[in-house]
Structure 1
Amino acid sequence: MICEELKSRKNFIEEDFIELRDSVEGLISVIEKYKDMGYNSSTYIDDLKDFLADIKLTLKEKKITDRELKNLNFLREDYFRTYGDSIYEYYVYDKNNLEKTHKANDEIEIAKKRFGKILYKITEKVIYHMI
């Protein structure tokens, strides 16, 4: 249908989704690294792991359904309203070690920006192909 051209573009799955997978894995890794410093870190990690499982399934099957592509258009709104806003607001704090706090938050910020950038790139492609 409206997304056939997009679905048939192998590089959409193989390049962008691999980059998305890597960014989510990076974000999980950084949050796990500093989870002892963050509030409710396990909830963030579990949510990201669920999202990562969906990405891996898409990559394994080498296809994505029309419904999933359409949902990507709303992913930032729906996903981030529930989880993403809190991910972007996620930070850690160690009152006894401010240097460690700054270092951890810098690493987390870099991972969050990478994640947001690739997700934005994918949703922009979907929006473009839906017009």
Structure 2
Amino acid sequence: MKTTLKLEELTMLLLGIYVFGFLHYEWWWFLVLFLGPDLGMIGYAFGNKAGAVLYNLFHHRGLAILIFLAGAFFLIPVLQLAGVILFSHAAFDRMLGYGLKYKKGFKYTHLGEIGKEKMTKKEQGPQLS
């Protein structure tokens, strides 16, 4: 199932790249802005709660879609760009296993705990006592 979820996120990332192709921006803008949503991690300088709220705001695909649609409706290309970048970046992060954050701390996400080794006893090899 984990592979299926990663493939789904890859598909969403590819959709974001496809939609970007219809915008009137050079491709280097996508590359330059792609990691921009990670600025949401600055919120963690003010504690776990503020960090989680700001990070989740910058990584919420529903909000990204609303921003893009607002840009399309009001003919504001920069909003369309922001929406596509946010959407694509969020899909990329989730493909890598980084989900929306809980207020408990950065490593606690809706996709599970990140940065934690999850090896089975078989993978760990023989235990010496």
Query: As a proportion of its length, which structure holds more strand?
Result: 2
- For the pair shown, the structure with the greater C-alpha radius of gyration is 2
- TM-score using structure 1 length: 0.37
Query: As a proportion of its length, which structure holds more helix?
Result: 1
